[in-house]
Amino acid sequence: MPGFDILVTGGTFPDGTTADIGITGDRITATGQLDGAEAGTVIDATGDLVSPPFVDPHFHMDATLSYGTPRINASGTLLEGIGLWGELKQVATTDEMVDRALTYCDWAVSMGLLAIRSHVDTCDDSLKGVEALLHVREVVRPYLDLQLVAFPQDGLLRDPTAQENTLRALDMGVDVVGGIPHFERTMADGAESVRILCKIAAERGLAVDMHCDETDDPNSRHIESLAYETQRLGLQGRVAGSHLTSMHSMDNYYVSKLIPLIAEAEISAIPNPLINIMLQGRHDTFPKRRGLTRVKEMQAAGIRVGWGQDCVRDPWYSLGTADMLDVAFMGLHVAQMSSPEEMRRCFDMVTVENATILGLTDYGLHEGAMASLVVLDAGDPIEAVRLRPDRLAVISKGKVVSQKQRNDSHLTLPNRPQSVCRRHFAGT
C-alpha cells in the first residue's frame, strides 16, 4: 500500500457510498478501502459527509464586507443599492477592496467554498475594482479559484464610458463578459447591450454571465434576447443568465415559449435566493412576490440551474457568512423544493451543478481529480442543508486549509435526542 500525503478515512460521499480518499500532491490518487495505508496526515471522517467543495457562481467581491459604508440601504431595493454602491466606489481605495476581498476569501475557505465567480464593476474610469480583484485572484490562486466577470454596473449604454472600460477590463485579464440590460434606459437599449456584449464574447472566445431581468417587471424580457444572441452566435453552453426574477411574474403562455428557447441555447440559470427574497417585491403590498425565478420548471426542461450567493454584507444585503448551505437552505424554501430528491438537488446545486457552470474540469472525488474537498459534521446532503453544520476539515489543492474541532453543542439540535436541556431539567 503506497503512502499518501493525506488520508481521509471512512467518510460518506454525497451519493451515500463510504470510502477512504488518498491524496498525493494536489491530486486524489486513490479511493476505496485503503486499509493499512500510511499518510503524513490522517483525517478520520467516519460518520461524516465528505463532499467536493462548495462553488459560488455569482458574487460581488468588490463590494463585499462594506456594509454601512457610507450608509445603509434604507429602502432595501436593488436600485438604492446600486446608488449606494455608486457613492462607495467614489471613495473606496484599491488597497481597501483587496483587504475586504481577502477577508471574504478566508471566510469562504473556512466554509469549504473553494471556487467563486465574482462580478467586478467596470463603470469606473480608474478600474480600481478590476485592479484589486485581479491581484486577489493571483494571491488566492493556491487555495481558491476566483473567476472574474466584467460587469458594467451602471449600464453598458447608460454609462458613457462603460463599453470602453469593459473592453479595457477584458484586456487586463478579466475572464467573463457580464452585463445588466434591465438597468439600461429602455428595453431597446437593454436588448442592444445584450447584442453588443455577446458579440464581444464571441469575438474573444469568452463566456458570458449576465445579470438579466433582476426586476419584478413581467415585461422585462432580456433573457429572450440573451437566448437569441447565444443561439445566433454559436455561444451555446458558455452563457449564464443570473437572477431572471422577472420570470416569476411573466404570463404562463409566454414562459411556455421562453423556457424551450433557454434550453435550446444551453443557457445556465443562476438564481440568488438570499438576496432576491430580500430585494424583490418591495413595491408589492399583498400578495407579495417571492423574488425567485422558475427553478423547478427550468430544471424539468433540462436547463442547468445553480444557486448563487450574490452578496455578503454590502449595499444590497446586510447578512451572510460565505456559507453556500445558507444559500441552498433559502433556495429550497422559496422554490418549494421539499421532496427528498429536490432537497438533495439543492445540495448538488451548490456543488457539482455550480462547478459545471464555472467549467471546473478536475472537480470531484474521483481518482485524478483535484484534491479539494470538505468534511461536514452531517450524515448526508439533506442533513447538511438542514443543519448547515461545522466544516470539520477543508482540503484545497492537496493542503489542509481549515480545520475545526467537533462541537458537542450540536447535541442541543433537535435531531439529537440526548439534549443538554433534557439532562439539565431532568432532576427538577
Cell of 410: 450540536
Q: Is 21 or 97 the residue whose CB approaches Fe ion more closely?
A: 97
Cβ atoms of 211 and 245 closer than 8 Å: no
* Residue 358: CB minimum distance to Fe ion, A: 15
Per-residue contact string for residues 309-348; x = within reach of Fe ion by CB under 5 A: -x--------------------------------------
Q: Give Cα 287 to chain centroid, integer Å.
A: 29
Which CB sits closer to Fe ion, 159 or 310?
310
Active-site option among 80, 184, 214, 224: 214
Write down the least CB distance from residue 313 to Fe ion, Å.
14
Min dist. Cβ of residue 254 to Fe ion (A):
24
- Nearer to Fe ion by Cβ, of 120 and 365: the residue is 120
Q: How far is the CB of 194 from Fe ion (least distance, A)?
A: 16
Q: If DSSP codes are grouped into helix, strand and coil, which group holds residue 336?
A: coil
Grid coordinates given for 326 = 445558507
* Catalytic annotation present for 229: no
143 CB contacts (<8 Å, ≥6 apart)?
109, 114, 396, 397, 399, 401
DSSP-derived secondary structure for 218-256:
TT--HHHHHHHHHHHHT-TTSEEEEE-GGGGGS-HHHHH
Q: Which is nearer to Fe ion, 247 or 393 (CB)?
A: 247
Measured CA distances, 261 to 223, 236, 372 (Å): 9, 11, 36
Closest to Fe ion by CB, 7 vs 194, is 194
Q: Which of residues 293-312 bind Fe ion (CB under 5 A)?
A: 310
Closest residue to Fe ion, Cβ-based?
310
Q: Rounded to an integer, what distance in angstroms lies between the CA atom of residue 193 and that of residue 163?
A: 9
| Cβ contacts of 61 within 8 Å, gap of 6 or more | 101, 104, 116, 118, 120, 133, 136, 146
Closest contact distance (angstroms) between CB of 148 and Fe ion is 13
Using CB under 5 A, count the residues that bind Fe ion: 1
User: What residue ranges bind Fe ion (CB under 5 A)?
Assistant: 310
Q: Which residues are catalytic?
A: 214
